[in-house]
Structure 1
Amino acid sequence: MTNLPQLTDALLTLEDGVAVLTLNRHDLRNALTGSNLIDDIVTTAEWVNHCQDVSVLVITGAGSAFSAGGNVRDMANRSGDFAGDPAECAERYRKGIQRIPLAMQAVEVPVIAAVNGPAIGAGFDLANMADIRIAADSAKFGETFLNLGIIPGDGGAWFMQRLIGYQRAFELTLTGRIVDAAEARELGIVMDVVPGEELMPAALKMANKMANQPPKATRLTKRLMKMAQRTELKDFLDICACFQGMCHNEPEHLDAVNRMLEAMARK
């Protein structure tokens, strides 16, 4: 049996290759600061990469919110993650919330964000760090940092423009406006919107389809998808050739080919 990491403010399950991480601080609307959720997310991301039993990671929130992002009360009190002079505050960001984008960017398996409610500020950015987003019809999204006189300090400006393009990301970031689930789908922020009670079934249906693919080739394919964003074509094709050579020598490849041949023979 696979050993799950010990988490403090989140819940983690693993079934049939699908890990589900549930942010579990409903009392804070799953705020990432002022809780232990930063450590829990980073711990889970690192565990996923080392656990070959995991093929897909789903992230969702308990209660009414996906994540409210930063703890505004701590901001008002200049406490916790927001304490100290400019240099101290910058160091808190580097050692605190900025660990999340680095850890999420390094996750080797597909990540699906099942956005169950408001995803605001850093919570919005966390959703955008996933590979795919499915939203409940009650979900809302907002890059609201400027409304508080701060910038997207967790890397949100990097992720969102890669997701929906510079112009749309610029408008959402500079206005700080909140969009509902329907508009989020129109903008390309989320792939699909479903009634709240259908959110997790829809996310798990997609996750199980991905988990049923050959796991080693799946991890290599995600690496290629990420590398394609920053690699010249000739170099990228060289990497593809190397990865393909690895895949052709994996037992899972031959198993998949044999299953396809058997299916063809039955037709």
Structure 2
Amino acid sequence: MGLADTHNPHRQRGAQVRFEWGTTGARALVAAGDVDVAVVVDVLSFTTTLTVALERGITVWPFPWKDARAAAFAAEHDAVLAVGRLEAEREGVGGVSLSPAGMARVEGVRRLVLPSPNGSTIATLLADAGTSVVAASLRNATAVARWLTEGPAGGGTVAVVAAGERWADDSLRPAVEDLWGAGAVVAALVDGGQPSLGLSPEAGVAEASFRAVRPRLGEELLGCASGRELVATGFAADVRVAGEVDVSAVVPVLVDGAFRA
């Protein structure tokens, strides 16, 4: 590694808890090889749906692409392939999708492939880079923070990655709900008795954002751009499920390509 790589400021070196956005940010944080655990946050809706699935005893394989490759991958792993929300609605109760409210009603599924262009893609990228990966949402932020403190990241370096969304030109759209979800994890780390963790300024902003919105989080989640988009298409229930803070003790850990509790 060259001198320029070692001192790249975008890696936030020197801070124990770091924060970035999207696939490019994820690559920047782990490129130096000094991150012990990466936390992926995609509140609406990959990591929320994933958490609900694991609450129900389902093993979940993330997959970056929703095309023929995903279908082949699901067949190879004897797993159900999640479909789009509207497609699942047409299929009725048995349809499995990225909808967390829908996932809470799923019966008879034990193995699931969950494609997502954001959270799933970032989780796969980080794992391929050799980084330990966990997934967090507002539902399980404190459980994830406790696992980080007591488990392999105790005293180590944590990279929190907000997935964000995509504009029509495929560029990153920073999504405020993911800032809040990431901030919930950072705040829980600080509140867990480690106030001298050494947050990067970026991680500190995420923490402050969550603390500021916490008293009216449900309302703000419904009113943010991603929330309004889901409400407009008939999926307000997904936003409400995503806004349930710390209702789950599940910590999704990516092991051998699949998330397990």
TM-score by length of 1: 0.25
Structure scoring higher RCO (CA < 8 A, sep ≥ 6) equals: 2
TM-score by length of 2: 0.26
Larger radius of gyration: 1
